[in-house]
């Protein structure tokens, strides 16, 4: 009986490391899978999983520079800067995984929801930008994301955390 168990344990470990049947596991690029579109998803889309990068691509150090003349946050300018940071991140990622993109608003919210308790992945109160230029803050104190996390007037450091779909 012991021999059978010892044979099955490595097989189970090998199978589980190859199959990404659930979200919140390490993906092929070393990031965290935060969304599984389900079996058969390739029929409708070109991807099944969404993975966030293992690290921030960089940060827009002084978000205060992206203010309009009326002293309001200028999403378009910040979005251009975020795309520059993303392009540099992709060009520095030599090898197989250089297909990172900025998450759209829904993807960013889902990513923050998925990892709000994981301090190793996302720290509380950090600000992240999405492809539309909106900035969200990770707030561990709430059970769900709400409009309070959308920052109309972000300040300080805003991070770029790209995702990839595969």
Domain ranges of the chain: 2-165
What pLDDT shows up at residue 109? Answer: 87
pLDDT > 90: what percent of the chain? 27
User: What are the pLDDT digits (tens) for 2-11?
Assistant: 554 444 444 3
Q: Which residues of 96-135 are buried (b: 16+ CB within 10 A; e: fewer)?
A: ebeebebbeeebbbbbbbbbbeeeebbeeebbbbbbebbb
User: What are the pLDDT digits (tens) for 101-110?
Assistant: 999 999 998 8
- What average pLDDT score do residues 4-28 get? 52
What pLDDT shows up at residue 15? Answer: 39
User: What are the pLDDT digits (tens) for 40-95?
Assistant: 655 566 788 999 998 888 887 667 777 766 677 888 888 999 999 999 999 998 77
Torsion of CA 21, 22, 28, 32, to 10 degrees: 180
Supply the pTM of this predicted model: 0.75
């Amino acid at each position: 009986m012991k021999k059978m168990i010892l044979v099955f344990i490595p097989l189970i470990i090998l199978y589980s490391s190859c199959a990404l049947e659930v979200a919140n596991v390490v993906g092929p690029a070393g990031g965290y899978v935060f969304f599984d579109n389900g079996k058969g998803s390739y029929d409708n889309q070109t991807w099944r999983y969404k993975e966030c990068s293992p690290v921030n691509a960089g940060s827009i150090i002084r978000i205060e520079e992206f203010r309009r003349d009326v002293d309001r946050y200028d999403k378009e300018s910040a979005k251009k800067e975020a795309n520059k940071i993303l392009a540099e991140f992709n060009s520095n990622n030599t090898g197989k995984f250089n297909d990172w993109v900025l998450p759209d608003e829904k993807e960013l919210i889902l990513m923050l929801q998925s990892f709000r308790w994981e301090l190793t992945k996302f720290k509380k109160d950090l600000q992240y930008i999405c492809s539309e230029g909106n900035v969200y803050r990770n707030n561990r104190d709430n059970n769900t994301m709400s409009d309070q996390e959308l920052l109309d007037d972000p300040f300080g450091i805003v991070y770029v955390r790209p995702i990839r779909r595969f």
